[in-house]
Structure 1
């Protein structure tokens, strides 16, 4: 394997910041269901960082919603709050989360590092990097933890990100395909 060296894109994101992001996501949902503005909390560095993020919602281990942005012009705090609401209310694959379900919802926030162009399976790390592909007018993304959760090796992960985009499993080899990896830092409730 010839993984490209990439510096840690998350030097300022530790467990304390992860807990803030998880609490922020839950508060955004609670405020929505209560019909009130979210409570203000000092987000510290999370108000200054501009990074992509995905919010994944599960109930009893079953996926209830997952939506995110690869990049963001807004603060990480704003992005996470917005993506929590989107995952709960507008993920077209699932019915909206209800107020009654909220106490049982598990929240996972994945903060994304920058996209790094890659060529193939030797250029990314299972469990550390997610994949993003654009080819033939379609795009797809899979977060780093998806490969681990499903027991996929590098080739399987590549095939599945292609399928997520509605492409053939080998579309990543197409000369006009844009294939990228990105580091992901995962925080779970």
Structure 2
């Protein structure tokens, strides 16, 4: 778990990476930034951008394949400029964008029969990955409570995200769960808070 101070640094690093790329077209030089030791640990991470409460980009590293500091900056750049669903972020809109960083635990396959899967999922706590063959889809823990999904809805939408039939989790697809620690700006360039989700609600600290 990251502390509040480390979470604020994570969000600042993501925003700085985007702003540096906008100004110079280059990647931020992390070697010049002093960061706590946790940023050298390998962690999965996603960076989510929203503008006017609408998604503006979301890309990340599902698995702990690189040090957190590099995963954050790479995910931030990808969310801002490489998300195929959106045009690249422009310099004139970055001050209207809210930056959110989700630090992930390693995904673990849910050991249960298909009919038992919904009972193994805790809305607001778990994110999901669905895999089948070459197809894979991921939804972050905050997606279900933010969209009023129950466990079956969450499974269905993760399958659709993977490009599979909505009920692929009932017909042999592998389902993995993970948890996420979420830090986000309350408003563009604003105070950074840690978000906590419970079923049907959200709180912050």
- Report the equivalent of 1:38: 28
Q: C-alpha offsets along residues 84-125 of structure 1, whole Å, 9 cap, x if unaligned?
A: 000000100001101111111100111110111113111121
Match of 2:181 in 1: 185
Following the alignment from structure 1 to structure 2, what is the Cα–Cα distance between the partners of residues 151 and 78? 33
CA drift of 1:30 comes to 1.1
Q: What do you get for the CA RMSD once the two structures are aligned?
A: 1.4
- Who is 2:164 aligned against? 167
After superposition, residues 35-114 of structure 1 pair within 5 angstroms as 35=24, 38=28, 40-114=32-106
Q: What's the CA shift for 1:73?
A: 2.7
Q: TM-score, normalised by structure 2?
A: 0.82
Q: Deviations over 1:14-55 (max 9, x none)?
A: 211110000000110111111166363211123321111010
2: CA distance between counterparts of 1:67 and 1:166? 17
Corresponding residue SS for 2:149: coil
TM-score w.r.t. length of structure 1: 0.89
Between the aligned partners of 1:97 and 1:37, the Cα distance in structure 2 is: 15
Aligned residue pair count:
177
Unaligned stretches of 5+ residues in structure 1: 1-9
User: Is the partner of 2:90 in helix, strand or coil?
Assistant: coil
- Contact 2:64 2:106 (C-alpha < 8 Å) held by counterparts: no
Q: Which residue of 2 aligns with 1:17?
A: 6
Please give the secondary structure, in 1, of the residue aligned with 2:142. helix
